[in-house]
C-alpha cells in the first residue's frame, strides 16, 4: 500500500458507522464503531475486543486478518515459522510467504527424521517416501517446489493467490503431520 494521508487531517475520535471486520491483532470477528476518520477518506477503527487500531481505506485493511488457522501439537520452531508465514501473508508480503513455506517444509522434514543439509527436493522426497504428506497432495508439493524456485532463482514476485495456496498447503501438512497425530495420541 503506497498511500499518504496528511497527519493533521484526522478528525477527533468519535462514534462512526459500524464496520464488521476480523481484527488483525486479536483475531476476533467484531463490529467496531469507534475511531477516527480522515478528510480524504480512510478511517481507523478501534477493535471493541482488544482496543487496538485497524486502518481502512477503500478495500484495504491494515493489519489484515490472520490467514490460516491455529494448529495443535507444533514444536516451538515449527510454530514460530508457521506464525511468521501467516503474518507475512496477512501483511501482503507474498514473495516472503512462498520462501518461508519452503523453509517450513524443510524443518518439518528434519523434525520427521530427515538428515540436515539436504536439497529441498530431497526433503520433499523424504516427506513423500515416508508418508508424511496427505494422499494425493503430490501436485501441491510440486507446486510449492516450483513456486519457491521461481521466487529464489528468477525475478518474479509473489501474489495473493500464491500466498493463499502456500498457507492452505502448509496448514494441511501441519494438520496431517502434527495435529492429527496429537489428537489420536490423546485418545490412547
**Order of strands across the sheet that contains 53-57:** 14-22, 29-37, 43-46, 53-57, 60-62
111 and 38 belong to one structural domain: no
Q: Which residue has the cell 520452531?
A: 77
Q: What is the pLDDT of residues 101-130, one digit of tens each?
A: 989 999 999 999 999 999 888 898 899 899
45 and 115 belong to one structural domain: no
Distances (CA, A) of 99 to 9, 24, 34: 39, 22, 38
User: Do 43 and 15 meet the contact criterion of CB atoms below 8 Å apart?
Assistant: no
Q: Total domain count for the chain?
A: 2
Q: Which domain holds residue 159?
A: 76-187
Q: By CB neighbour count within 10 A (0-12 exposed, 13-18 middle, 19+ buried), where does 82 fall?
A: buried
- Interior CA angle at 7 toward 51 and 57, to 5°? 60
- 69 within a domain of the structure (yes/no): no
pTM: 0.78
Q: What is the pLDDT of residues 64-91, one digit of tens each?
A: 898 889 999 999 999 999 999 999 998 8
Amino acid at each position: 500500500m503506497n498511500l499518504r494521508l496528511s497527519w493533521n487531517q484526522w478528525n477527533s475520535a468519535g462514534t462512526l458507522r459500524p464496520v464488521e471486520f476480523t481484527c488483525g491483532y486479536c483475531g476476533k470477528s467484531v463490529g467496531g464503531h469507534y475511531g477516527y476518520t480522515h478528510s480524504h477518506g480512510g478511517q481507523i477503527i478501534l477493535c471493541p475486543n482488544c482496543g487496538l487500531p485497524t486502518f481502512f481505506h477503500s478495500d484495504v485493511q491494515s493489519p489484515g486478518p490472520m490467514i490460516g488457522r491455529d494448529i495443535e501439537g507444533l514444536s516451538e520452531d515449527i510454530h514460530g515459522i508457521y506464525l511468521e508465514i501467516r503474518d507475512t501473508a496477512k501483511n501482503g508480503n507474498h514473495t516472503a510467504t512462498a520462501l518461508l513455506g519452503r523453509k517450513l517444509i524443510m524443518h518439518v522434514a528434519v523434525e520427521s527424521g530427515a538428515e540436515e543439509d539436504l536439497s529441498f527436493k530431497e526433503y520433499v522426497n523424504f516427506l513423500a517416501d515416508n508418508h508424511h504428506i496427505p494422499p494425493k497432495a503430490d501436485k501441491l508439493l510440486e507446486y510449492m517446489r516450483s513456486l519457491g524456485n521461481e521466487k529464489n532463482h528468477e525475478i518474479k514476485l509473489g501474489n495473493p493467490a500464491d500466498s493463499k495456496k502456500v498457507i492452505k498447503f502448509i496448514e494441511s501438512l501441519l494438520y496431517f503431520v502434527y495435529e492429527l497425530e496429537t489428537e489420536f495420541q490423546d485418545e490412547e
